Structure 1
Amino acid sequence: MGQLDLTGPSIRLTLPPHGRMALAGAALALSVMVAGGTARAQPSFDCKAASTPVEKAICADPKLADADSEIADAYKTLQALSGTADRERLRAEQKAWLAQRNQCATAGSSVATCLGPVLDARRTALAESVPKAVTALAAIVDGIAADPAGAGKRLAEIRGGLGKGWTAYALRFGPSPDRAKADALLREAVEGIEDPYSRETASGVDLTTDEGFLTALRVVSDDVEMAWPCSVMERRGAAAWKAMEPLYGSNRDNFGAHPACPDDNALLASPAWTAVDDLLAPMLEAASNRTGTIRFASYRQMAIDRMKSAVDPRLFLADAPELAALVKDAAGWSNPRWIAPGWGERLRAAVDGAVAAWTPQIAGRYSIGTAEARRIAEAVAAQGLGGSMGLIADNLELQKDTRLPDWLRGSWSWTGSAEDTPFGGPAGKARIDATGICVGSECGGYDVAGQGEDAPFDPKEVKAAGVSPAPNAAKQAVSLAPVSAGFSLTMVPLTGGNVLVTGTAKPLLLKREGK
């Protein structure tokens, strides 16, 4: 409760502490890669100017340099999140710690040996303090509605971007709105975002609209993964929920600010919706495996929709797709690789069952009539179904039969190896069926991605392998795409019933062992 759970088709993704900062650190590490190795870790100061034994020891040891850099970053973050009294306390603590650190210059052991635990302890203490400071800031924000003047005074003491951003929020939505001042202050906060991509994203929104204003504030909040109080989501409504939707179309959407709202009673996580989820799960997992990091945007949208369905399902009425049309489209999927007989009818029944279960709950919650409650229930179902269908339809063939052909099914053996394929061992046996390839107990799903003209192979490559293609090989050859990440394979039928696997570094001969 209160944490945004990004749930993929078959995995549950949790947000690690300071995920965006960790991501930024990884990007920085990648940026200093050089040919033949990596650049030495850089501490928070210029090693060319290092003069004391402690500074020189830190510069000489990459682990110590990393720790020093992380301490400086966390200290800077805490300074930006703290009010006046906490900043003074933090400065005093840091000054005392620096004195302790510098005593390592006269330690009986080596300077580096002394510094290790001293830096580690400070790094841990500061890292643990950052989320506490973010939580304290969120508590101030939560009190804006009850005591705008008091909250505004406390926010004004916080000099970093979040202090400016939430002060701007109080100015825009408080009892005496000053939109011009609020917009100017939020622009200052946006200009202070260090990550250029995030800064560009926030700079591109229209601050004159509530949605744009809150989106910019969300980006300012992303760096420390601030949990927005649910009071903000409830008071700002649709604009706040829109601001929390995916922005980046990448794994950046796996991190960042999120609503701190209870989702215990989420309609889209209720037992009534489980039957729908179960019918979509195999396709959703396969589609997720086939897409890149953009899947995290889909996961975030699904997570936001789940939480919104707990807080205020009425919000779905504004822009949900038409449920009947979605169900009709899904019921028209026909690829037997994924769709069993009667699947469409079961989906329709599962969706109808969820809507029927939710309708009286919604009617009682808002004291409204059955017809209006059903409209809300249908809108929630449409959004939940549409999110899953979009990811599936974008990544799977749903109309054409993509099962592996009969001539390829059976038992096979090989010698040699083809890396990054099921046939990676130097020799072995495989079983191929309608949906995949098994080697021992390891099975991988495959679909036919192309056949005949859509699965071309080089006759010279076949000839070089010392084999002959079957007379109808040009029409029968198939290109197989793995359900999970991996390379496509082209399977060429040969005279005598064997198969040549191409699309690998070296063609591999599969010998038929039996049907």
Structure 2
Amino acid sequence: MDYSVKSLCPLMGMAAALLCAAAPAGAASYDCKKATTPVEQTLCANPELSRLDGMLGEHYLSAMGKLKGPQRDALRNAQRAWLKTRDACGTDPACLQPLLSKRLIEMGQLTQPHTAELDAIIASIPDHPADAAQGLRRFPQSELAAAWLVYLQRFEPQSGVTAQEAEEKRQQVLAVLKTDSYPWEIFQDLDSDPVFSRDRITLTLLRMMVERAQYEVFADQRAYVHCFVFSRHGADAYEAFGPLYGSTRDSFAPLCAPQGELFKQAPWQQLDAGFDPAIATASGNSGTIRFASYAEWRRLDLRATVSPRDFLKPVEGAEDPEPAMRSWNDEKSWPSKSRTLALAAVEPARQVTAAWLQSERGFSVEEAQVAAREIVRQWLEKRLAFIGESGGE
């Protein structure tokens, strides 16, 4: 194989997976039936690495198509030199992953020079939907721009996007989505189920295009610009952008970071530290579905800070998690020292959350206490459910 772009996909971790989203699942940059070298066989045997390699191949070919003369020759020579470094890793995924990750980012920088302009247009949607629509039309080949035009027609009538234009853009997006069977099948199921609203379907399609867009790969250069959807669309957005696949893909759910500094405060950091050993043990026994739980936790943190009034009505019949924590009887799955550390942080976490809700979200004292108790309860409940599935209660 003369380039291993697609071989990089599985090894790059979160950043890689976003870059790899455009490549068909499990597709390496070469025929795995003909894999002969240790590196090729390793990449083919690892679905995540194979996806990574496939995406790198796409970017390499795209970059070679854009460059001419000396620049093109320089890229080809650099890729050959990089392949020698990669091949030296042999069958070691821990060696391959950082190499693939870095190379994919370098290649993406060559193939995605227009992202800053597109992101600025997307960020303007809440305040200037009509102008944003005009700007998005300047990117006719971008499935992300197409998905945002579909969004505008659905949610921003003043944008001027017609039903006909939106349908044309929707078909453009669907044509791209069909190239990746996994999300395509999931979307088809959602789209045909009358239980789900058209708002939810539109947001899910948008989410799938955001996933393909490389934001995580260029996190230091390209911050998420879609975060306004959570405050504007509430439950539909949290559901559409949260855990969806029950696999490693949920690691890349395009959920924005929590607002403010709530979860950086000492009691929350102590809770995290107290649960860490139990979560690490449970994660080793739960397979790739664990990534859905990780995404669910991220979604809870985001919702608690962006839409905290969602927590003013406690879940009916919900139990207090603290007794289960106190009665935990498996020292191996959750050492008592760590469990004691977590228990000691529960009430302080409620207190700092209530204070934050009053100062940052304008809650009354009573509202803050109710919401804080529910936020902490759900945070504990979700982690207890996760570690309980691997044994321990």
TM over 0.5: yes
2-side partners of 1:135 and 1:223: how far apart? Answer: 16
Write the mapping of 1:97-136 to structure 2, written as runs, cut at 5 A. 97-98=67-68, 115-117=76-78, 127-130=108-111, 132-136=113-117
AA of the residue aligned to 1:252: R
| TM-score, structure 1 as length reference | 0.55
| Structure 1: segments with no counterpart, 5+ residues | 1-12, 42-64, 76-90, 105-112, 400-515
Distance verdict in 2 for CA 1:20–1:292, change over 3 Å: farther
Note the aligned Cα RMSD (angstroms).
4.1
Deviation at 1:287, TM superposition (A): 0.5
Does 2:121 correspond to 1:140? Answer: yes
**Residues 18 and 224 of structure 1 are in contact (CA less than 8 Å); yes or no, is this contact kept in structure 2?**
no
For structure 1, which segment, 230-239 or 120-129, has the greater mean C-alpha deviation from structure 2 after superposition? 120-129
- Give per-residue Cα distances to partners, 1:292-323, cap 9 Å, x unaligned: 12222222222233333333333345786876
Does 2:164 correspond to 1:164? Answer: no
| Structure 2: segments with no counterpart, 5+ residues | 1-11, 41-53, 83-102, 216-223
Paired residue for 1:173?
155
Write the mapping of 1:22-171 to structure 2, written as runs, cut at 5 A. 24=23, 27-29=26-28, 32-34=31-33, 37=36, 70-73=59-62, 94=66, 97-98=67-68, 115-117=76-78, 127-130=108-111, 132-159=113-140, 160-171=142-153
2-side partners of 1:338 and 1:312: how far apart? Answer: 34
**Residues 129 and 152 of structure 2 are in contact (CA less than 8 Å); yes or no, is this contact kept in structure 1?**
yes
Does 2:342 correspond to 1:381? Answer: no
- Give per-residue Cα distances to partners, 1:219-260, cap 9 Å, x unaligned: 12211234343223332233222222111111112235343x
Deviation at 1:344, TM superposition (A): 7.2
Does 2:297 correspond to 1:315? Answer: no
Distance verdict in 2 for CA 1:17–1:340, change over 3 Å: closer
More strand by share: 1
**Residues 255 and 298 of structure 2 are in contact (CA less than 8 Å); yes or no, is this contact kept in structure 1?**
no
SS of 1:334's equivalent?
coil
Does 2:360 correspond to 1:365? Answer: yes
Deviation at 1:398, TM superposition (A): 1.5
More helix by share: 2
Paired residue for 1:490?
none
**Residues 207 and 240 of structure 2 are in contact (CA less than 8 Å); yes or no, is this contact kept in structure 1?**
yes
AA of the residue aligned to 2:287: G
Distance verdict in 2 for CA 1:377–1:197, change over 3 Å: same
| Percent of residue pairs bearing the same amino acid type | 24
Does 2:274 correspond to 1:274? Answer: no
**Residues 218 and 244 of structure 1 are in contact (CA less than 8 Å); yes or no, is this contact kept in structure 2?**
yes
Larger Rg: 1
Does 2:170 correspond to 1:186? Answer: yes
Distance verdict in 2 for CA 1:279–1:174, change over 3 Å: same
1-side partners of 2:76 and 2:337: how far apart? Answer: 67
Distance verdict in 2 for CA 1:210–1:66, change over 3 Å: closer
- Give per-residue Cα distances to partners, 1:50-79, cap 9 Å, x unaligned: xxxxxxxxxxxxxxx99875333468xxxx
2-side partners of 1:278 and 1:125: how far apart? Answer: 35
Deviation at 1:200, TM superposition (A): 1.9
Distance verdict in 2 for CA 1:383–1:183, change over 3 Å: farther
Paired residue for 1:195?
180
SS of 2:190's equivalent?
coil
Size of the aligned set, in residue pairs, is: 333
**Residues 321 and 382 of structure 1 are in contact (CA less than 8 Å); yes or no, is this contact kept in structure 2?**
no
